[in-house]
């Protein structure tokens, strides 16, 4: 676990965005006459590109899915973005990693403009060398594309770079770009989802993640 460059997913990895994301999806669905009162049923929307999820879970056409994303943003931009909370121990983890000279980068499918606001809101922005997210027009939303973009822009060595995330898309993105991956089970991906996709490492808690990096650095030193 001795990596010089560490890519972090945002939703479900650094913060728990459940209320904000599911309420935004609920708002968008209502615009189409679909009433969903159980926010737990909307958890699968956390992580993957939104347009894909509207198509996958509600059989929306590509056009309707894109319109649903616009409705989603109406709620999210003002309210949902801050209906979010940090996972306990995240600031301490990021502080330890930066003190050990690791370069931290955000790799998220969330639009860059929202990701930057969330990091600033939680006072995490200073930990990150770069923040890479999707564009508002839906481009650069696939995690494989995002990781490839980061590797090329930063000219990173794949052997010393790792992707950390809670959903299969994070791990698939790492696989597709030849870098190591850490699947975290405290987010929104199930153990079965992680087991099926095979991350390099699987971690259950933020504390376990902290200890894995801390011990790895000590052994390497």
For strands 85-86 and 15-16, give the pairing: antiparallel
Cβ atoms of 177 and 144 closer than 8 Å: yes
CA torsion 173-186-46-200 (nearest 10°) is: 10
Rounded CA-CA distance 51/69 in Å is 6
For strands 103-111 and 5-8, give the pairing: parallel
9 catalytic? Reply is yes
**Catalytic member of 9, 11, 142, 166:** 9
Which one, of 70, 85, 135, 77, lies nearest residue 109 by Cα?
A: 135
Which one, of 4, 11, 9, 50, lies nearest residue 27 by Cα?
A: 50
Rounded CA-CA distance 69/214 in Å is 40
**Residues with active-site annotation:** 9
């Amino acid at each position: 676990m001795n990596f010089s460059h560490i890519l972090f997913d945002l939703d479900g990895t650094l913060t728990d965005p459940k209320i904000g994301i599911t309420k935004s999806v609920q708002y968008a669905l209502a615009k189409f006459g679909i009433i969903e009162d159980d926010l737990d049923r909307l958890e699968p929307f956390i992580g993957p590109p939104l347009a894909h999820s509207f198509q996958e879970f509600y059989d929306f056409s590509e056009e309707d899915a894109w319109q649903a994303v616009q409705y989603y943003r109406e709620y999210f931009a003002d309210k949902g973005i801050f209906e979010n909370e940090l996972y306990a121990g995240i600031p301490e983890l990021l502080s330890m990693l930066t003190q050990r000279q690791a370069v931290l980068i955000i790799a998220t499918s969330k639009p860059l403009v929202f990701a930057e606001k969330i990091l600033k809101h939680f006072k995490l922005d200073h930990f990150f060398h770069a923040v890479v997210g999707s564009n508002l027009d839906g481009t650069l939303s696939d995690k494989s594309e995002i990781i490839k973009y980061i590797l090329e822009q930063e000219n990173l060595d794949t052997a010393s770079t790792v992707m950390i995330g809670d959903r299969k898309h994070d791990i698939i993105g790492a696989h597709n770009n030849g870098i190591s991956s850490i699947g975290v089970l405290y987010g929104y991906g199930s153990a079965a989802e992680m087991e099926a996709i095979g991350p390099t490492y699987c971690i259950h808690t933020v504390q376990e993640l902290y200890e894995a990096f801390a011990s790895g650095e000590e052994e390497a030193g």
